[in-house]
Each structure stands twice: as C-alpha cells, then as structure tokens.
Amino acid sequence: MVDCKKKRIVIVGSGFAGLGMASRLLEKGIDDFVILEKSEGVGGTWRYNTYPGAECDIASMLYSFSFAPNPAWDFKWAKQPQILNYLEKFTNDRDLYSYIKFGEKVTDALYSNGRWDIKTKNGTIYNCQFFVSAIGQLHHPSVPNFKGKDRFLGNSFHSAEWDHSVKYEGKKIGVIGVGASAAQLIPELAKSAKKLVVYQRSPNWIINKHDRPYSSFEKWLAKKLPFLSKIYRLSLWCQGEFLIWPVIKGAKLRGSLVRRLNNLEIKKHVKNRDKASKLIPDYAVGAKRILLSDKYYKAIGQSNVTLETSTISRIGKRSVETISGNKHDHDIIVFATGFHTNPFLKEINVLGKSGFELKESWKDGAFAYLGVTTHKFPNMFMLYGPNTNTGHTSIIYKLEAQFEHILKLLSITGDGIIEVKDSVEKQYNAQAQKKLSRLAWSKIDASWYKDGGRVTNNWYGSSYEYNKRLRAPIVKNFMVTTSQIIQ
Ligand code: NAP
C-alpha cells in the first residue's frame, strides 16, 4: 500500500537553502511542512565534500545566515567541518530536526489540480500545495569516461566522494582537474605524497586569500559587540560587489590587477619556467570562477609535484597516459572533475500542468523567472535555481532574498495557486541572456556555468540588484487563483 502524507509545503534538500527556508517559515508561523533529505544528515554539499583541505572560498562572516551570525569562526575562511557543524547547530537551535525525513530520495514531482505529489524512492508520496526545490547546483559528481578508467587497480574516487579509508601519505597520486576543489586538496596532498601529478586541462586565475585564524580577542569582540560583525560582513560584501563583480563585467583595470597578482604568485613559487608558463590562463579573467588560494602555487612549485598538461589518452591498470606519450604511475587517482550542473533537477522527474515535463521545457538549457518560478509549474519554487549562482559573492546572501520572495508569494497565494506568466518569464529570460552575453562568463565556450551556448547557472547583475528585485515581487507578473480547484 502506498504511504501518502499531506503537507502544505514539501522542501527537498537540507543544505543551506532548505534549512534557511524552513527556519524562515517557522518564524512566519508556518509549520505545516516537511523537509525530504536523501542522505542521513543535514548540510548538503558541506556534508559530501570532505576532501583534505575542504574549506570555503567565501569568507565565513558572509558565507553564513545574516539571521544566525557565528562569532566563533576559527578562520576567516572556515574549514568544512566547522561549516557542517554550523549547519547542524542551526538545525538543532531552530528545532528543525523534527521536520526532516532523512533517507528520502525524491524521484518524482507530479502536479495536478493545484497539488503536488512528491514521490520518494522508498515509495512514500507527500501530497502538498507547494513544492520547494532546495537541491542546489553542485551535487552530481562528474567523472569523465576516460578509456580504461574502470580497470585501474589502485584507488580512485571523485573529490566529493572522498574515500577516507585510503591513506595517501607516501603514495603516487594523480589529481585530474584544477578547479576550486582541486585547488584546495592539491596543497594538502602535496605535503605528504611521494609523487603528485596534477592533470590540468586549462589553468585558472588565482588570487591569494590571505587566510588567518581569528584571535580569541576578535571572537570575543564578535560575540560581545555583534554590530561590529555586521559592519565587517558589510565590508566583505562590498569587496565582492565593488572589486570582483566589475571584473566579471569586464573592468580593465581591476582585471589586469587580478592578472598581475596571479602572475606574481606564480613567479614567487614556481621557479621552473616551463611549469610556470603553463599556469597562466589564456581566457578572460572571471570567465571561470576566480579561485582563492594562498597555497596552490606553492604546492605546484614543489619538487614532488608534476604539472601534466597533455590530454589524457587512457587510464592503465596502475597509470595515467597522455596523448604525448607520457605515462605516470599511480596508487591513487582523484577525479576533481567537477559536477553535472545541467540539467537542473536532473534526478527528479518533474511534471507540471497537463503532465508537461520540466526536462522538455529546459531542453535548450534551464531558465526560471528570477531563478525561482517557471511557467507551467504552478506552486513550485526553486532555491539556488537557474541563473542564480554568483562568481563574486556569497550565495547565502542571495538565498536569503529567495526566502523572502517565496514567503511573499506564499502570502499572496494563500490556499490558491500561483504561476509566473509565460510572457513575463520569456521577457525576463531574453533580457537575462542579453546581459549575460556581455559578461566574462560568455567569453569562453564551455564551463559549468553554461549549457550549450547559454549561461544557465549565473545571475546577470550585482547581488544588490538581485536582492532588490526578489524582495519586492511584482504581483501582476503572476497568475494567482485564490482558492484551490481540488483540495
Ligand atoms: P570545476 O570547477 O568544474 O573543475 C573541474 C576541473 O576538472 C576543471 O579543471 C576541468 O577542466 C577539469 N576537467 C573536467 N573534465 C575533464 C576532462 N575530461 N579531462 C581533464 N580535465 C577535466 O569543479 P570543482 O573544482 O569541483 O568546483 C565546482 C564549483 O564548486 C566551483 O566553481 C565552486 O563554485 C564550488 N566549490 C566551492 C568551494 C568553496 O570553497 N565554497 C570549494 C570547491 C568547489 P576545464 O577547466 O578545462 O574544464
């Protein structure tokens, strides 16, 4: 017999997005909701990414909820265990655990007559008025299908599926990929690996973090004088908004400053000229995420680290081979090769009005009005949805705007149905794509921000603009019926 439960709201995912949304619902007196989480704990990406050196590349005073400040961050950029701990404590402090069903992997979301049936792998159906997707953009590990990959006899795993039973000290390791995850794990592995080969397809623009631990006095100040933390948070936000965002818009002076800082660090740490020259990107600053690291180039400069830039031709039983004929022996291969970011909601079969498939709607790339709602899918809201990612500031700041947006849409809708108008969404999307085409992200052929030729993951403006638009929804842009057709 099918187990069917009724709720007003079903939230899928218990990372920053799902937990923050749930907390804001409770603050508004709405408690008829459930959070469905496929794993056995909260935290989302911060639960899965446990690779050595995992930490945040947005300063933690900004990469945390404004309504749950943490004066106890140990470092300016917190390490993964402390971020996970922050989310677990948040869940506990706000009594959210009792709203979460763990081990519930959502497989289908089916809309009919003003209600959604959210089906899980365990066979339970949650029937709800509102379906809120909080599943994030970066959680389906992508491992390229290298020839021979499955015949490798050593240990191999993706950076987001780190096998902690494998000791890497004194081993011959290959790391494939040099993105944000690799830039954090490579310095850690380089400390004790016998030999580390870094397989780089394209280098990144990297600037220093200038990370440091907070002193006990600073933590005391943050605790006793919270307004100081607020000012500090504002200053961090301003740095992203006024220093990095203009780089993505193409500001020449700031862009050349990033290039200069990058090249100086290479010169300082990588003495081998051939190696050093391979580390300089040939694409516009900001086209891919600008990485922050104090340790990456230092690690690459070490004598036990080889930078391999020839294309991988195959993986042997104990080696990786390249098209130029190089063969590197390995005990361990780490695939730091990123995530399948498109299509969004990849693993959920979402059917909207008249059984219309979300996959069909997004066959040329995902889109959504302000990243939250999409036509033909009434009463469905997305957190961190299409075109909402950022390359210069904290996603938590934007999530908070999305929480407020959704709360306003809920109050407008009451017991009824809300759906963004087709014409509004189309116009918004056309404008977004026009603006995105002028930004650095459009200046390269492929990245995880793009699907086909379109930028599908990132927002086209400053985070201030986004916040402003989200917090004041324009009611006439939606079709609202104030009572449901079928209860
Ligand atoms: P990523 O940035 O997509 O990097 C993937 C790497 O794998 C790239 O260097 C890519 O090369 C390489 N690659 C992919 N396929 C390959 C192939 N077939 N052969 C050779 N190389 C291949 O992935 P990520 O490092 O996991 O980071 C993804 C995002 O997660 C980041 O942009 C960031 O937003 C987020 N993240 C955040 C933090 C944080 O601190 N908050 C930490 C880690 C990650 P190409 O560049 O040539 O494609």
Q: At 434, which helix (H) or strand (E)?
A: helix 422-436
In the reported structure, the alpha carbon of residue 448 is separated from the centroid of ligand 1 by a whole-number distance in angstroms of 8
∠ CA 173-177-180, rounded to 5°: 110
Q: What is the DSSP letter of 103?
A: T
Which tokens go with 7? 């709720």
Q: What is the DSSP string of 263-308?
A: HHHHHHH---HHHHHTTS-SS-TTSSPPEE-SSHHHHHTSTTEEEE
Which tokens go with 325? 């004929």
CA-to-CA distance for 179 and 336, rounded, in angstroms? 7
Instruction: Please indicate, yes or no, whether residues 345 and 328 belong to a single structural domain of this protein.
Output: no
CA-to-CA distance for 437 and 4, rounded, in angstroms? 46
Domain that holds residue 175: 149-213+218-335
Instruction: Please indicate, yes or no, whether residues 260 and 390 belong to a single structural domain of this protein.
Output: no
In the reported structure, the alpha carbon of residue 276 is separated from the centroid of ligand 1 by a whole-number distance in angstroms of 20
Which tokens go with 304? 């036990």
Which tokens go with 85? 């701990």
Sequence-distant (≥ 6) Cβ neighbours of residue 309 within 8 angstroms = 200, 201, 278
In the reported structure, the alpha carbon of residue 289 is separated from the centroid of ligand 1 by a whole-number distance in angstroms of 9
CA-to-CA distance for 111 and 359, rounded, in angstroms? 14
Tell which atom from ligand 1 comes closest to the C-alpha of 446: 48
Tell which atom from ligand 1 comes closest to the C-alpha of 335: 7
Nearest CA to ligand 1 atom 46: 202
Q: What is the DSSP letter of 91?
A: H
CA-to-CA distance for 266 and 258, rounded, in angstroms? 12
Residue 125 corresponds to which amino acid? I
Instruction: Please indicate, yes or no, whether residues 35 and 176 belong to a single structural domain of this protein.
Output: no
Q: How confident is the model at residue 4 (pLDDT cuts 50, 70, 90)?
A: confident
**Residue 86 lies inside a defined structural domain of this protein:** no
Residue among 278, 337, 394, 396 whose CB has most ligand 1 atoms within 8 A, to mutate: 337
Give SS3 for 188. Answer: helix
The 10s digit of each residue's pLDDT in 151-165 is 999 999 999 999 999
In the reported structure, the alpha carbon of residue 176 is separated from the centroid of ligand 1 by a whole-number distance in angstroms of 10
Instruction: Please indicate, yes or no, whether residues 258 and 301 belong to a single structural domain of this protein.
Output: yes
pLDDT given at position 258: 97
Instruction: Please indicate, yes or no, whether residues 110 and 228 belong to a single structural domain of this protein.
Output: no
CA-to-CA distance for 208 and 270, rounded, in angstroms? 15
Query: Is it true that the peptide bond before 343 is cis, omega within 30 degrees of 0?
Result: yes
Over residues 136-163, mean pLDDT? 96
Instruction: Please indicate, yes or no, whether residues 169 and 136 belong to a single structural domain of this protein.
Output: no
Task: List the end-to-end C-alpha distance of the chain, in Å, as a whole number.
Answer: 22
The 10s digit of each residue's pLDDT in 277-298 is 999 999 999 999 999 999 999 9
pLDDT given at position 486: 38
Give SS3 for 316. Answer: coil
In the reported structure, the alpha carbon of residue 392 is separated from the centroid of ligand 1 by a whole-number distance in angstroms of 16
Polymer length in residues for the chain = 487
Q: What is the DSSP letter of 74?
A: S
CA-to-CA distance for 333 and 344, rounded, in angstroms? 28
In the reported structure, the alpha carbon of residue 359 is separated from the centroid of ligand 1 by a whole-number distance in angstroms of 24
CA 444 to each of CA 263, 364, 438, 449: distance values in angstroms, whole numbers, following the listed order: 21, 18, 12, 10
Residue 313 near residue 328 (C-beta atoms within 8 A): no
Instruction: Please indicate, yes or no, whether residues 360 and 393 belong to a single structural domain of this protein.
Output: yes
Instruction: Please indicate, yes or no, whether residues 154 and 133 belong to a single structural domain of this protein.
Output: no
Nearest CA to ligand 1 atom 37: 180
Angle, helices 16-27 vs 395-413, to 10°: value is 40
CA-to-CA distance for 329 and 313, rounded, in angstroms? 14
Q: What is the CATH number of the domain that holds 472?
A: 3.50.50.60
**Residue 266 lies inside a defined structural domain of this protein:** yes
Residue 375 near residue 446 (C-beta atoms within 8 A): no
Bridge partners (DSSP) listed for residue 333:
156, 174
Count of structural domains, the chain = 2
CA-to-CA distance for 297 and 72, rounded, in angstroms? 30
pLDDT given at position 484: 56
Burial label for 230, CB within 10 Å (0-12, 13-18, 19+), is middle
Tell which atom from ligand 1 comes closest to the C-alpha of 204: 46
Instruction: Please indicate, yes or no, whether residues 164 and 184 belong to a single structural domain of this protein.
Output: yes
Compute how many other C-beta atoms are within 10 angstroms of the C-beta atom of residue 102.
14
pLDDT given at position 387: 98
In the reported structure, the alpha carbon of residue 107 is separated from the centroid of ligand 1 by a whole-number distance in angstroms of 27
Residue 273 corresponds to which amino acid? R
Residue among 314, 448, 450 whose CB has most ligand 1 atoms within 8 A, to mutate: 448
Q: How confident is the model at residue 263 (pLDDT cuts 50, 70, 90)?
A: very high
In the reported structure, the alpha carbon of residue 246 is separated from the centroid of ligand 1 by a whole-number distance in angstroms of 23
Residue 159 near residue 54 (C-beta atoms within 8 A): no
In the reported structure, the alpha carbon of residue 184 is separated from the centroid of ligand 1 by a whole-number distance in angstroms of 11
**Residue 191 lies inside a defined structural domain of this protein:** yes
CA-to-CA distance for 197 and 378, rounded, in angstroms? 50
Structural domain ending residue among the three candidates 302, 335, 368: 335
Instruction: Please indicate, yes or no, whether residues 282 and 382 belong to a single structural domain of this protein.
Output: no
Q: How confident is the model at residue 343 (pLDDT cuts 50, 70, 90)?
A: confident
pLDDT given at position 1: 61
Instruction: Please indicate, yes or no, whether residues 240 and 277 belong to a single structural domain of this protein.
Output: yes
Query: Which is higher by pLDDT, 1 or 90?
Result: 90
Tell which atom from ligand 1 comes closest to the C-alpha of 160: 26
Position 137 pLDDT exceeds 60: yes
Residue 428 corresponds to which amino acid? Y
- Residue that is written with structure tokens 């600037």 in the block: 207
Pocket of ligand 1 (CB under 6 A): 55-58, 138, 144, 159, 176-182, 199, 201-202, 289, 312, 336-339, 448
Bridge partners (DSSP) listed for residue 173:
196, 332
Query: Which is higher by pLDDT, 391 or 477?
Result: 477
Nearest CA to ligand 1 atom 41: 56
The 10s digit of each residue's pLDDT in 160-197 is 999 999 999 999 999 999 999 999 999 999 999 999 99
Q: How confident is the model at residue 3 (pLDDT cuts 50, 70, 90)?
A: confident
Give SS3 for 116. Answer: strand
Structural domain ending residue among the three candidates 272, 304, 335: 335
Looking from the CA of 372 toward its CB, the CA atoms found within 13 Å total 30
The beta-carbon contacts of 253-260 under 8 Å, at least 24 apart in sequence, are: 255/284, 255/285, 255/286, 258/205, 258/207, 258/285, 258/286, 258/290, 259/205, 259/285
Instruction: Please indicate, yes or no, whether residues 257 and 277 belong to a single structural domain of this protein.
Output: yes
In the reported structure, the alpha carbon of residue 178 is separated from the centroid of ligand 1 by a whole-number distance in angstroms of 6
Over residues 246-258, mean pLDDT? 96
CA-to-CA distance for 72 and 222, rounded, in angstroms? 8
The 10s digit of each residue's pLDDT in 22-71 is 999 999 999 999 999 999 999 999 999 999 999 999 999 999 999 999 99
| Mean pLDDT of the chain, nearest integer | 96
Which tokens go with 296? 């990456």
Residue among 56, 80, 201 whose CB has most ligand 1 atoms within 8 A, to mutate: 201
Residue among 63, 157, 159, 181 whose CB has most ligand 1 atoms within 8 A, to mutate: 181
**Residue 62 lies inside a defined structural domain of this protein:** no
In the reported structure, the alpha carbon of residue 63 is separated from the centroid of ligand 1 by a whole-number distance in angstroms of 20
Structural domain ending residue among the three candidates 290, 310, 335: 335
Nearest CA to ligand 1 atom 23: 338
